[in-house]
Amino acid sequence: MIPTEDIISIVKNTITASIKCNTHRGYIGWSSCDNICMDMHDCLDMCAETLEKRGYMVALEAATYILVSGVKLASHADSSSGMLTDVIMCTYNLIDKCTKEIKKQDKQMRDQALALIIKEAKKSVFDGWTDWRYDLLKCGICLCDEKSAKKLEKVLDTLLEISREDYYPEYTKKEDLIVRYLLHRHLYGKKNTKKELYQNISINELRIIAIKDAMEEKNYDEAEKLCLEKANAENTWHYRSGDPEDWNNMLYDIYKTANNTEKQIAQAKKLLLMGNEKFWKVLKQIYKECGAWNENYESLLDELKDSKRTVCYRSVLISENEKKRLLEDVMENPYDLFYYGKYLVKEYPEQVYELCYKEISESCAQAKDRREYKKITKNIAQLIKWKGNDTAKSLIEELMQRYPRKPALLDELEKVEKKL
**157-166, 202-211, 274-283, 406-415: least confidently modelled range:** 157-166
Q: Could you tell me what percent of the chain has a pLDDT over 70? A: 96
State residue 1's pLDDT score.
Answer: 57
- Count of Cβ atoms closer than 10 Å to residue 173 Cβ: 15
The SS3 of residue 321 is: coil
Q: Is the pLDDT of residue 232 over 90?
A: no
Q: Write out pLDDT tens, residues 137-188.
A: 999 999 999 999 999 999 999 999 998 887 778 999 999 999 999 999 999 9
CB–CB of 39/64 below 8 Å? no
CA distance 364 to 376: 7
User: Mean of the pLDDT values across residues 95-116?
Assistant: 97
- pLDDT score of 242: 47
Q: Which residues pair with 76 in a beta bridge?
A: none
What is the predicted pLDDT for the residue at 166? 77
Measured distance CA(144)–CA(103) in Å, rounded: 8
Residue at 124: amino acid letter: S
Rounded-to-integer distance, Cα 63 and Cα 323, Å: 53
Q: Mean pLDDT of all residues in the chain?
A: 94
User: Per-residue pLDDT for 241 more than 70?
Assistant: no
Residue 230 and residue 247: Cα distance in Å, rounded? Answer: 7
**pLDDT at position 235:** 60
pLDDT band at 245 (very low <50, low <70, confident <90, very high): low
Measured at the alpha carbon of residue 99, what is the angle toward residues 95 and 101, in degrees to the nearest 5? 120
Is residue 240 pLDDT above 70, yes or no? no
Q: In this model, does residue 394 exceed pLDDT 80?
A: yes
Rg (CA), the chain: 29
Of 308, 387, 379, 398, nearest in space to 348 by CA? 387
Give the pLDDT confidence of 53-67 residue by residue, as tens digits. 999 999 999 999 999
pLDDT tens readout for residues 12-41: 999 999 999 999 988 999 999 999 999 999
Residue 274 has pLDDT above 50, yes or no: yes
DSSP letter for 142, please. Answer: G
pLDDT, average across residues 333-345 = 95
* Domain map (residue ranges) of the chain: 334-417
* Residue 345 CB burial class (10 angstroms; 0-12, 13-18, ≥19): buried
